[in-house]
Structure 1
Amino acid sequence: MTIQWFPGHMAKARRQVTEKIKLVDIVFELVDARLPLSSRNPILDEIIGEKPRIIILNKSDLADPLETKKWVAYFNDQGIAAVPIVAQEGTGMKQLMGKAKELLQPKFDRRAAKGIKPRAIRAMSIGIPNVGKSTLINRFVKKNIAQTGNKPGVTKAQQWLKLGKELELLDTPGILWPKFEDPEIGKKLALTGAIKDTILQLDEIAMYGLEEMKIRNPEMLAKRYRLTEEELNLESPDLLMLISERKGYKDDYTRAAELIVFEIRSGKIGKYTLDIAPVSLPKRQDIKWENR
């Protein structure tokens, strides 16, 4: 299964981000904590360049907490600050602002020494679709100033938002890259909701998700769908058919697939991280990881 999705507005957004990057002090790069590597757009590295950045591992409540700690340590060892948050609940927001102030203190000290009046931090929110950029903004201002949705492609244009006296944030649309060299990355992004369901074969995504849950959360998978040990070991197409029948959907496998994908995304079959942190610490372009 090959998954590609690069709407025209993403190409436009990439150009706009490249033009506006010079206006900000720091970049907030949001990633999905379940996919700390696969949800990082490689195009963004060349756009961001040497600009200070913080990798924000959002939706950390859905990820394996041990793996999240490993990824934070990994990014720190690569010289990149990383903070896990749950934007929906506001968890980790103080740590995020604290880290931003820490990284930019030398710059603002230099400005003060020149007699330049202090001003708010200017940040850019950037990342792939559906990692929670708009939810992060709404949490900062404690109201729904940015449109959100549990689907990719909600934010269609850049917008400057003043968030109190400490922060001015440029929100940007999610940007995917034109081609996934590794089809496994496409599957991971599809399973976690970074790609629109309307262009996917949901039964294939559901079967991929079942195989991943067999590895990561077999007990919760069995409990959720009342599976015996023998049933749990069925091939994924047979398991999908069994779950469809058990839910009373008969031959409506699409409905069963939608249910399975939704329940995996929402954490009803347990916490999971699909990208396993590297044991060693190679340079990013040399990273390889294993699926457990």
Structure 2
Amino acid sequence: MNIQWYPGHMAKTRKILNDNMKLVDVVIELLDARIPISSKNPDFDDIFKNKPKIIVLNKSDLADEKVCNSWSKWYNSKGYANIFIDSIKGKNINQLKGQMQNLMKDKIERDKLKGRISRPIKTMIVGIPNVGKSSLINKIAGKASAVTGDRPGVTRGKQWINVNDQIQLLDTPGILWPKFEDIEVGLNLAITGAIKDDILDTVELASTLFEKLVRLYPKNLMERYKLTSIEGKTGLELLEIAGKNRGCIISGGEIDMSRISAIVLDELRGGKIGKITLEKPEDSGNGGNG
């Protein structure tokens, strides 16, 4: 299952990013804490080059805390400023504001010497679709300033938002990249909801998710879908059993595979299967996609 999705507005977004780089002091690169490797757009490092950057991993409430700690240690070992947040509940948002001001401390001091005392820190928030950029902005700003939604591709244009006298935020649309070189990256993005379900084979996707859970979180999988045995069974076979156990039956006693697949993906994205992280630092050749 080779997934590719690059709507036309994403090419425009790349232009927005390039055009606004000179205006920006700090970049917040927002990743999904469940898939830190797959949710990192490889083009961003080239676009942002030497800009001060904070790696912010959202949806940490849905991720495995132990694995989040491993990622934090990895980022720290590479010298990357990083913070795990929950943009819905506001976890660690104040800490993030502090990090932004800390990164800009020297520049603020230089501005003061030039008589520019109250210039706000201009921050650009970037990330893949549906990673929670607008929710994060609303939490930082303390009001519903950005359009939010639970589907990818809600924000379509750039918008500057004044948080206070100290911080200005630039919200940008979610952006993927033209070609996923690694099939696993496309699958992980699709499983977690960064790619629209209506262009996907959801049965194959849910089967793939089950295979990942057999390897990573077998207990969660068995408990959630009342599976007595997972040994030697394919993801598709386990999905069929889960469908039967959940009563997803159509006429003739057949399993409604589309329905159980939609349920499984929805439950993974909503944290109902448990706190799940699909990637660890050691899963990538360079220990992460930094």
Q: Secondary structure at the match of 2:21?
A: helix
Report the residue type matching 1:245 in the other structure.
K
For residue 217 of structure 2, what is the amino acid of its counterpart? N
Deviation at 1:231, TM superposition (A): 4.7
Structure 2 stretches of 5 or more lacking a match?
250-254
Correspondence 1:180 to 2:185? no
> CA deviation digits over 1:37-94, x for unaligned, max 9?
2101011111111000100000011111122122122222222210110000000101
Q: Please tell me whether the aligned partners of residues 123 and 167 of structure 1 are also in contact (alpha carbons under 8 angstroms).
A: yes
Which residue of structure 2 lines up, in the alignment, with residue 33 of structure 1?
Answer: 33
Aligned positions of 1:1-292 closer than 5 A:
1-228=1-228, 230-231=229-230, 233-250=232-249, 251-278=255-282, 287=286
Give the conservation status (yes or no) of the 8 Å contact 2:209–2:235: no
State whether residues 232 and 239 of structure 1, in contact with CA within 8 Å, keep that contact through their aligned partners in structure 2.
no
CA distance, structure 2, for counterparts of residue 72 and residue 209 of structure 1: 25
Give the RMSD, CA atoms, in angstroms. 1.6
Q: Could you tell me whether the CA contact under 8 Å between 1:127 and 1:175 is conserved in 2?
A: yes
Query: Do the aligned residues in 2 keep the contact of 1:31 with 1:58 (CA within 8 Å)?
Result: yes
Q: 1:120 Cα deviation (Å)?
A: 1.6
Kept in 2: contact 1:191–1:206 (CA 8 A)? yes
Q: Distance in 1 between matches of 2:206 and 2:235?
A: 9
Is the 1:213–1:269 Cα contact (8 Å) retained in structure 2? no
The answer (yes or no) to whether the contact 2:129–2:153 under 8 Å persists in 1 is yes
How far does residue 141 in structure 1 lie from its aligned partner after superposition? 2.4
Shift of 1:288: 5.2
What one-letter code is carried by the residue in structure 2 that aligns with 1:240? L
TM-score by length of 1: 0.93
Which amino acid counterpart does residue 20 of structure 2 have in structure 1? K
> In the TM superposition, what is the alpha-carbon distance from 1:33 to its structure 2 partner?
0.4
- Higher mean C-alpha displacement, 203-212 vs 169-178: 203-212
Deviation at 1:166, TM superposition (A): 2.2
Contact 1:222 1:232 in 2 (8 A): no
1:186 Cα deviation from its structure 2 partner: 0.5
Q: How many residues align?
A: 283
- TM-score between both structures, scaled by the size of structure 2: 0.93
Q: Secondary structure at the match of 1:148?
A: coil
Query: For residue 286 of structure 2, what is the amino acid of its counterpart?
Result: I
SS at 1:61's partner residue?
helix
CA contact (8 A) 1:151 1:193 kept: yes
Moved more, 36-45 or 68-77: 68-77
Residue 136 of structure 1 and its aligned partner are, at CA, apart by 0.3
Q: CA deviation at 1:243?
A: 1.4
Distance 1:273 1:99 in 2: 25
Label 1:278 to 1:221 Cα distance change in 2 as closer, same or farther (>3 A): closer
Cα displacement (A) at 1:118: 2.4
Secondary structure of 2:162's counterpart equals strand
Per-residue deviation, residues 180-204 of structure 1 (Å, max 9, x unmatched): 0000110011111111111111011
Q: Is the 8 A contact 1:213 1:221 kept in 2?
A: yes
Partner Cα separation in structure 1 for residue 146 and residue 93 of structure 2: 17
Q: 1:105-145: CA deviations, max 9, x gaps?
A: 01111111222222221100101111100000111223322
Shift of 1:215: 2.2
CA distance in 2, matches of 1:232, 1:86: 35
In the alignment, structure 1 segments of 5+ residues that lack a partner are none
Runs of 4+ that moved beyond 4 A: none
